Structure 1
Amino acid sequence: MSAQSEVHPHDAVDIIRAKRDGQAVPEPALRWMIEHYTKGYVSDAQMSAFAMAVLLNGMSRDEIRVMTDAMIASGERMEFSSLGKPTVDKHSTGGVGDKITLPLAPLVAAFGVAVPQLSGRGLGHTGGTLDKLESIPGWRAALSNDEMLAQLRDVGAVICAAGSGLAPADKKLYALRDVTGTVEAIPLIASSIMSKKIAEGTDALVLDVKFGSGAFMQDIDRARELARTMVALGTDSGVSTTALLTDMNTPLGLAIGNANEVRESVEVLAGGGPADVVELTLALAREMLALAGQPDADVEAALADGRAMDAWRAMIVAQDGDPDAALPTPRETHVVTAERAGIVQRVDALPFGVGAWRLGAGRARAVDPVIHAAGIDLHVKPGDRVTAGQPLFTLSADDEKRFGRALEAVAGAWEIADSAVDVLPLVRERITA
């Protein structure tokens, strides 16, 4: 019997009307909607209308759980029980200079915990973890499931591309949201992120939910709502989940780009690096290890004594990368200096993210290449005292023609004044079930 002549127990138009009118969609109808959208029976136009109704009217906790579970059921589910050790993952909602996955995964793996970090590529002003790691000569993002399991068993940490078999319903719905003005719907964001993470099969999950100018969610209240929704989803699905709400008004660390963010990550693994990157790496590591049954793990010691660096090197080598190879360097640089003496009041994350993107560190379309040596290196942070003529930041590119538009992007994105500035905490809240 063809799909056209098949008799269906539900109708997409009735489901759209129910959500349009603020009603809860019954579980069987919602599961049917997701399954038949994946199969192509429910059209893009109908799912667009449903997504807009969700944006405007929201969903109950139970509806979001059902929708997430239906998206997981659309594809395969990974299984790590054969490893014989706990698995814990981290997901960040993304930001400017956010390279935390790079030092974090090997740090946690140094304690005998498996970290299956399925990551993505950057689009727009937020950098992609895979793009950063591809700065390392030879390193490859694509691993088979068998390769991934072997690496988790032998090394403990893997950062690689997610396979197409995980939550295919999400991939289809995500593309639709992007072109229909429904990206911001919290139930759709939460089910998108959590369907992939739960399908990944990890025992526990720590979420780094960012707010501020360089974050996906600029408003702290909406970021908190997203964090609570995702923690509830993980908990309801049997995955131990906590979240940290972190500030992304200022770029994280000093490096914004790809190769330069790898360099900064290696500095952290060597026991140095910017204070904010170290702080967040340690905070997330503590959360992950607590969920893995090691609440008293001395994460500072693992950075100081080289265990985390050993795990990093093993992780890179396992994916055919050379941890000792020189990273790409830019052909052209441009230094911006302070016009006056004073105290740095602010360094806005979003303009610097856009500036790095315009230099070639990011991509406008998914098919675009990135220039691994391109980016911005900050020399100051809010609260720092500067003198006139002191370097504030350096732009890097392979073509000096890119500097003009990058400078336009960051114009007015920093401020120097005479007064002291209150530097707010990086980690603002911890959210649990």
Structure 2
Amino acid sequence: MATPAISGSPAPTPGTDISSRGPQSPSDPSPEPKQLPELIRVKRDGGRLSEGDIKSFVRAVVDGSAQGAQIGAMLMAIRLRGMDLEETVALTQALANSGQQLEWPEAWHQQLVDKHSTGGVGDKVSLALAPALAACGCKVPMISGRGLGHTGGTLDKLESIPGYTVIQSPEQMQGLLEKVGCCIVGQSKKLVPADGILYAARDVTATVDSLPLITASILSKKVVESLSALVIDVKFGGAAVFPRQTEARELARTLVAVGAGLGLRVAAALTAMDNPLGRNVGNSLEVEEALLCLDGAGPPDLRDLVTRLGGVLLWLNGLAEAQAEGAARVAAALDDGSARDRFERMLAMQGVDAGLARALCSGTPAQRRQLLPRAQKQEELLAPTDGTVELVRALPLARVLHELGAGRSRAGEPLQLGVGAELLVSVGQRLCRGTPWLRVHLDAPALSDPQRSALQEALVLSDREPFTAPSPFAELILPPTTAQQ
């Protein structure tokens, strides 16, 4: 097996002026680099930072010469003054160049795809989508993250499967792509280290919601994967970073434009995050639901999102002539068991005992539950009155589960992997007073009165007739060189 090349500087991306990478002639000396205080002052006063300025700042972040106060000041200046497209492209590229690059065999070029989500409640799309894409002929080197705050993390969900190892070397990643077609791994400290430093600083400097900083953080981790196509699931709604669809659309358009500037085909899907996605929320419970999706079953909103996002990717990289055809191919991979087979093989190659991986993927839902972490007790909540389920607010549900141990408030905190909740009803369903609508899995002795009250307030009932819930998929922003199909 050939090993992937690792280098400190990647090959130039399309649209990059590679002449600037060579040594400067004596007759055209490079300008003296600005000191950090001057760079901060330029951005603070609304000026533009050059590509060289941005490289200098990122270099100082990585080598430790930038003080914490200086990093925070620059982030706040960017948050308040913004960055134009060229600045954001330069920042993304500089972050990507701050560590190792992943390079794959040339023959894989058109097959390499990935998906990223801005974070949601019950969002287990990656667990089903990566193996489904692999079954459709793609290579998916998915670098995922952990949950922080009320949103769940893909790595935490997978680590609820005993033995699953998220840390994989580039050589191990290539082996997974060769033999399985996909891997879901964590971000190494050698991959995009500057982003790790800036991300931690953003979290404590109230600059998390900066569009250029969000864009550069997301895309820098994807640039190092050397992808042919990427789809980003941009959430909007009550449990999303951006409550309003107009704000999410602005981020989506920025991501697509910056991706184009880096030579990367990026599509951005706007999807609603008012209700939880699917019916299960919580790490091991979401693994169970992802397995149902891989069985060709499970909640329709989850399957809809998996097939739509997969269809976009297959179309973007030329493996399908239209988005609908791509979605149908992904659906077929879910229905015929080929996606589930890839998931089983991925588990076994990422540290899960082969017998356990087989039992999880071939077992019944009841058998699967016995193989995954379980909470000590369950408590059901009852509908307070008759009505039609108009909404199950995802944010208060996620916050209570976070309090119960399903999420973390700071990096490194241990999780209660079996804690979570099952929705026993669907949006649009008619309920009678006293009908169980939520089953909470908890390790605490019981829900507190405030927790129970918060959960009950998450259920919104109306006098409407029963209805079919709409798809969470709301809008698609495509690269500028493509046409909607």
TM bucket, shorter chain: over 0.9
For 1:115 and 1:40, how far apart are their aligned partners in 2?
33
Give the conservation status (yes or no) of the 8 Å contact 1:354–1:409: no
Runs of 4+ in 1 over 6 A off after TM superposition: none
Aligned-pair CA distance for 1:399: 2.1
Aligned-pair CA distance for 1:425: 4.0
- Which has the larger displacement, 90-99 or 320-329? 320-329
Q: Which one of the candidate residues 473, 477, 481 is aligned to 1:427?
A: 473
User: How does 1:257-406 map onto structure 2 within 5 Å?
Assistant: 257-295=282-320, 296-297=325-326, 298-321=329-352, 322-323=356-357, 324-325=359-360, 326-401=371-446, 403-404=448-449, 406=451
For 1:319 and 1:265, how far apart are their aligned partners in 2?
18
Give the conservation status (yes or no) of the 8 Å contact 1:120–1:162: yes
* Compared CA separation, residues 162 and 231, structure 1 to 2 (3 A): same
Cross-structure match for 2:101: 77
The AA in structure 1 aligned to 2:463 is D
Q: TM-score, normalised by structure 2?
A: 0.85
Cross-structure match for 2:64: 40
The AA in structure 2 aligned to 1:192 is S
Aligned-pair CA distance for 1:408: 4.5
User: How does 1:58-97 map onto structure 2 within 5 Å?
Assistant: 58-81=82-105, 84=108, 86-97=111-122
Aligned-pair CA distance for 1:224: 1.0
For 1:401 and 1:369, how far apart are their aligned partners in 2?
20
1:17 maps to 2:63: no
SS of residue paired to 2:297:
coil
SS of residue paired to 2:101:
coil
For 1:417 and 1:91, how far apart are their aligned partners in 2?
34
Q: Which one of the candidate residues 195, 203, 208 is aligned to 1:183?
A: 208
Q: Deviations for 1:245-300, whole angstroms, at most 9, x for unmatched residues?
A: 00001110000001110110111110110010000000011011112211234222
Aligned-pair CA distance for 1:301: 1.6
SS of residue paired to 1:383:
coil
Q: Deviations for 1:213-257, whole angstroms, at most 9, x for unmatched residues?
A: 111222212211111111112211111111100000111000000
For 1:185 and 1:418, how far apart are their aligned partners in 2?
40
Aligned-pair CA distance for 1:81: 2.6
Give the conservation status (yes or no) of the 8 Å contact 1:334–1:403: no
Give the conservation status (yes or no) of the 8 Å contact 2:177–2:183: yes
1:207 maps to 2:229: no
Cross-structure match for 2:78: 54
Q: Which one of the candidate residues 408, 414, 417 is aligned to 2:462?
A: 417
For 2:254 and 2:150, how far apart are their aligned partners in 1?
25
Q: Deviations for 1:331-350, whole angstroms, at most 9, x for unmatched residues?
A: 11110011211101211111
For 1:319 and 1:207, how far apart are their aligned partners in 2?
25
SS of residue paired to 1:84:
helix
For 1:88 and 1:236, how far apart are their aligned partners in 2?
18
Q: Deviations for 1:349-407, whole angstroms, at most 9, x for unmatched residues?
A: 11111122122111122121111110011112321111111111011112224555542
The AA in structure 2 aligned to 1:432 is L
Aligned-pair CA distance for 1:37: 2.3
Aligned-pair CA distance for 1:26: 2.0
For 1:40 and 1:402, how far apart are their aligned partners in 2?
46
For 2:437 and 2:427, how far apart are their aligned partners in 1?
11
Aligned-pair CA distance for 1:142: 1.4
For 1:73 and 1:28, how far apart are their aligned partners in 2?
13
Cross-structure match for 1:4: none
Give the conservation status (yes or no) of the 8 Å contact 1:64–1:191: yes
For 2:471 and 2:165, how far apart are their aligned partners in 1?
36
For 1:8 and 1:38, how far apart are their aligned partners in 2?
20
The AA in structure 2 aligned to 1:116 is P
CA RMSD of aligned residues (A): 1.7
Give the conservation status (yes or no) of the 8 Å contact 2:108–2:139: no
Cross-structure match for 2:22: none
For 1:403 and 1:293, how far apart are their aligned partners in 2?
53
- Which has the larger displacement, 296-305 or 267-276? 296-305
Aligned-pair CA distance for 1:424: 4.5
SS of residue paired to 2:102:
coil
Give the conservation status (yes or no) of the 8 Å contact 1:345–1:421: no
Give the conservation status (yes or no) of the 8 Å contact 2:430–2:466: no
For 2:450 and 2:107, how far apart are their aligned partners in 1?
49
SS of residue paired to 2:37:
helix
Residues paired across the two proteins, number: 427
The AA in structure 2 aligned to 1:303 is L
Give the conservation status (yes or no) of the 8 Å contact 2:192–2:220: yes
* Compared CA separation, residues 403 and 203, structure 1 to 2 (3 A): farther
SS of residue paired to 1:241:
strand
User: How does 1:123-142 map onto structure 2 within 5 Å?
Assistant: 123-142=148-167
For 2:260 and 2:466, how far apart are their aligned partners in 1?
39
For 1:403 and 1:204, how far apart are their aligned partners in 2?
47
Aligned-pair CA distance for 1:313: 1.1
Give the conservation status (yes or no) of the 8 Å contact 1:80–1:202: no
- Which has the larger displacement, 270-279 or 210-219? 210-219
SS of residue paired to 1:360:
coil
SS of residue paired to 2:381:
strand
Give the conservation status (yes or no) of the 8 Å contact 2:304–2:471: no
Structure 1 unaligned regions, length at least 5: 1-6
For 1:145 and 1:405, how far apart are their aligned partners in 2?
47
For 1:65 and 1:200, how far apart are their aligned partners in 2?
17
Give the conservation status (yes or no) of the 8 Å contact 2:388–2:462: yes
